Structure 1
């Protein structure tokens, strides 16, 4: 009985170990997901919330600016249309003043030589009246629409100011969350980074809420559609080295399917990147930053630096001194 119990315990431990470790992740396996460390929670809920709300405010701000631009364009069109209409109304008013208005029109109808001439003048007077009414009505409608458009522009400007205030607050929150990261960093930016195709947004420009519903191509887990899109865009841009996404536990957005780790070396996660491998990682980090708005980037970590949309590049000291937690052997990407 004791022998059977011991075998059961050993078998259970083996099963638990197999469940906790990624498939094929043998000790020393360079393709095993990097241990990014869970001690630094600054890059957890606080930074996540600050940057998520900053991105939502940015989406609202961008959409408001588009509406404002459309309104301003429409106002210009209405002003151009108003000029000849106002001129026509001025002519009508001047003519009415000179001729005495309805009194002269009545006289024109009375001073006729025949019933046929009377009917012709009735039709003419009626047509003139209808034309004048249409012109005056058009002027009134355009002036009303222009007033409404001006009010709508003022509302958009107020909305933009509100979103700018939110962004300023969230930027301060992100800066506070990153305060322990030892200040600003030079960052990784390249104007030569290729452009990515934008991920789908809602009709109002906001980011749709997404769940972990797509099969992760790198593990047996799942990722969100937006995370898959970002990974695919990176590969289209030539960043085709090994990467890994979903993990059932750990820091950052991996358990939510909103994060991937992209190895700098061609054979997987290894030691500190140098030479061509470091250049590859730097170019990949720059690609994600340049296309942050298109891909819904929440933050990027690479080589002891972290980039967020609210605060830019900062030094990152959240690691444990090893290549994985210092992110010197892989680029970490999280999306909203």
Structure 2
């Protein structure tokens, strides 16, 4: 006897798409990590779609097979009905031919004694299985549609991140942009020299070249808070050869610069690049980007992911 096929409940996995970080200026490393997660989400969604489509195809095959079996049993009945019409009882023939559904058909067969109880039970079982499969097929259509929609959303998230990453890399290659029309710097005393000049921003000292950079920067109209000499540690600050210019006028804020502060930092960084020869600039760091003579702007990963470490709240300039 044919085994009865039980309905199968498919579990549709919900996709957790990873949004772009809340920061208006995500860094390249963060976007790359988000993109990797988005690609994984697309792969998972694709697997869900394939599983749903496979189940839909399986249901279709089972329905076709069960329908064929049902039709075969019914064909046997039609042959017997023809026999009754030509040789049998007209009343029995009418009972079979007037059946409108599987139940009335079975009743008619039982009445006429066609195939006996065993074949009547087989036909009843085939009819029940067919009803169950068709009901599951109708319900599963929603799951197929949901899986396809989830895949579409995942692919859109991946596409958006790819575009954002491409735009960020293009911005990094281009650098901060215009210096806002600030006047050109006067040439300084050249590189070299010790930390012999008083630092106007601290109680420390600066080299003559760095003091010249400080004065020219102020003269060009960049007058936000600035700190140059810093004792201890590595780099050029303890040597009196570097200054940090806050994007915010009042000082270093523990947030990524935005709006007018971001524009100020962009223009100052661009001004240092445009006047690098006259000022003896060794390198500039601003907003997760690094510039040095002979190279383009490139990505700078920072130290600890903070506005200070990523240089998103101040422009750093080192002097030869």
TM-score (norm 1): 0.43
TM-score (norm 2): 0.45
Higher relative contact order (CA 8 A, sep 6+): 1
Q: Greater Rg, structure 1 or structure 2? A: 2
